[in-house]
Structure 1
């Protein structure tokens, strides 16, 4: 069994170590310690902890060990595993972020020891930082986009309301021909359609910022279909197409819905 454990320790990519909590010194490092901090196992055993363990990490580990020794006392081998993330100092001065998992065991002589495994998580932590920055940048871009959409929508609605207003005034002129009334009706329908689109853009901005609210109201389904037919018929006729809109009899005449969301043109 001892040979098997030694073989595992010598070939694993993670660092396996033993620590004497009463003498405050390491008694074993697997060879992979050299890849982690740049010192061989023999060198690391003879170095003070301050050489490769940052002061705040050293204090963190010491506090945890002292707590476990006091809390569990004679039942330390039944104590739960302790996991932590610490900063190590590589031989070249670079900071290596490592995750350690420890538990209490007894050696062949019955001496209480801390068995630990350390894994280099520097790349993972760097990826987490990059992902967090990317998320922050995306959120910032979304806020900027929402502000832009709101401003643009406001600028578009102002002249559009003027178009709608003058079209409605002109439609009251008794001297207009039937053809002119038809053209004005087309202007009104398409202006209303454009206003719906602009409002939908504003709603998208509200949804992204978490401010959108659903507003249910009575909705005449057949009137909605008639408006759709009137809106798109001229475009279909211009392409020599016939637009046919039908409604099944079992469809109720009135429903409750948020009309701008129901009628996505």
Structure 2
């Protein structure tokens, strides 16, 4: 009988099977009227089996179960005994598993009680092993499912995921491959520093597993280099992770290149707006001076003309000053009107055929006297001097640009010469004009600024303070409207050469 009890669970490994096969055998072989198992869960005991099942709801069973549960919490003896309502109950300790309760009408002999102790203890060992094996299977299944879910998530997420150990990548998802340009085999075992822009090497050095606390995420914005050396900005979140038994670091990265560009564009736009506001404020202050100066000349010398008995010589001198002041005022007003039209996109273009040689001759005749009076030599250099050179452009804008550039050269040149000419670039179908002088020149740091609105070159000549700073800006706008470009080559104190191109179609 006892051998049969021992063998009842010998080859079984399932907890439920052991219970359902062994406990009825105990009930039958030991002539018991009831048998039950209380399983230990933390500090409590939970009923998991009772035979017969109808006994479950009896007051006797509730009392017996409560009695042995309380006793076992403080007294872990192999066997406890209770007499209740003309019956004897035995509670055997099932090792660490719980309690086996047997109910009989007559008590066991002392020998049987002692002989049952190791048999029940063996049953408890088998039940504990079966339970632990089941729990291990549940944990392993859960880990496998979790790993499968994690791998699926890593493969399908839009974030670029990299896992690395000891600074070397041990896993990369599909998004990381697509984003970096490296395939999986190229990424695996790659030093993580190879993906970082040189400016962020210090960030790489500071990534340390020991410094990452559990459930703590480090976030940062870094610049990386793709396989083709393209620079990209990414937002990275860094966490510690267990991966294949290793203490690893997982990085999830999102491309924020466009966002960073937008931020930079906003910063640049803000700076440009502030700069434009400063320039306009300076312009308004300057324009008031530019208007008052010629107006003072006009009004002042007009009043002087009323002086009785003026000599003809003084009258001519005063009238000349009034005329120059009027020309200066008119030029200023025209420039203001032009720049306003340009900004409002109201400036129109009127194309016509223009003879370049003819216009250069006209300008030479107009400015030669002024240059000569200043002690300057004025030269023309016409590539095709003996035949018309026709271009289709806006005559007024073309003439205004040349006039403005020649006037500037005369204004900022005290000695030497001024040369105006052109060359025809047949390979590009452009005609290139130049105005060269031996004047004070423009520093390299200011050569771009002189074409901006309201800005004059930061030069030493006192005459630089005269003018509203619109001429070159208007010239640049006109040339670009006509399909060309304008630039300067200059050396301070040695002179300047202004170039501009226009389309040349023969």
Q: TM-score, normalised by structure 2?
A: 0.27
Higher relative contact order, structure no. (Cα contacts within 8 Å, ≥ 6 residues apart)? 1
User: If each structure's strand is expressed as a fraction of its own residues, which one has the higher value?
Assistant: 2
